[in-house]
Amino acid sequence: MKLPFTKMHGAGNDYVYIDCFANKVDDPAALAIRLSDRHFGIGGDGIILITPSDKADARMRMFNADGSESEMCGNGVRCVAKYVHDRGIAKKDTLRIETGRGVLDIKLTVENGAVTRATVDMGVPVLDGRAIPTTLDMPRVINHPVTVGGKTYRFTSVSMGNPHAVIYVDDVAKFPVSEVGPLIENHPLFPRRVNVEFVEKISMAEVRQRTWERGSGETLACGTGASAVCVAGVLSGMTGNDIAVHLSGGDLAIRWPGEGASVAMTGNAVIVFDGVIDI
C-alpha cells in the first residue's frame, strides 16, 4: 500500500502529516514509530493525522515518535491549519481545528495564496495540580521542588491540554537536557508523564527555551511548551504577559493576559516536501 504524506514543521518541530480525508490509517501508533525514525523512516518528532470533524473544519490527531498519542501540539496545529487552507479543504482566514484539547480557533496570515504564519487560540491554561495532572493537591503548582539525579529543581506546572513542568536555569545552552529531561518526564509526581521546559530568562519579555517532550525526547520547538512557559513566567513573576520565546528551531510570540484568559501563540508553518511511502 502506498501512502501519500507531507513533511511540515513549525519552528523546527517537524511531523509527518497524513491527509485522512483521502487516506486511511489503521494503526497510527505503529506507523508513527516507523515513519518518525530519522534513519530508516521519513524522520520527524511524530506523525499527525488530518481527519474529518463533525464540529470543526478538520481534526488533528498527534502521535509521538514512540507511538503514544498526545492531546495537543501547538506547532502541529498551525501546520494542520496551513494544510487545510493551502490544499483547499477549507479556504478561510480563520479555521477551527478539533484537537484533544478541544476545538481551537486559528487566524491565518496568507501571502500569495499560501499560509505563512498563524495565531492559535490555545485555550485557557489548566493550573490545578490534580487536573494538570500531577499528584499534588494544590490549586497552583509554582516553584515546587523535584529531586532527580541527586539534584533538586524548582518547577511550575501548567497544562495546555498536555502537562508541562517549567524549570528556569542559568544557561540553557549548556544544560544537560537529555540527562535531566527523561528523569523528570517519568517522575512519580506526573502520573501521565510530563513535557519539561528548561528556560533561560533574558528579560521580562524574552526567554530561551529547550524542551524535553514526553514520547519524543528533545525537540527543536514545542508550542504548548512555549505557551506554558509564558503562563509559568507570569505566575512566578519571572516574565510579563507578552514574551518572545527563542527555541532551537525558531521563535514564537506568546501572550497570556492572566487568570481565566486564553493563551495566544503566533508562529510559522512550513511545508518541507510531499512524498509517497510504501507501507
Q: Which residues are catalytic?
A: 73, 222
How far apart are alpha carbons 263 and 253 in whole angstroms? 11
How far apart are alpha carbons 130 and 141 in whole angstroms? 10
Question: Residue 153 pairs with which residues in a beta bridge?
Answer: 146
Residues 98 and 55: beta-carbon distance below 8 Å: yes
How far apart are alpha carbons 95 and 80 in whole angstroms? 10
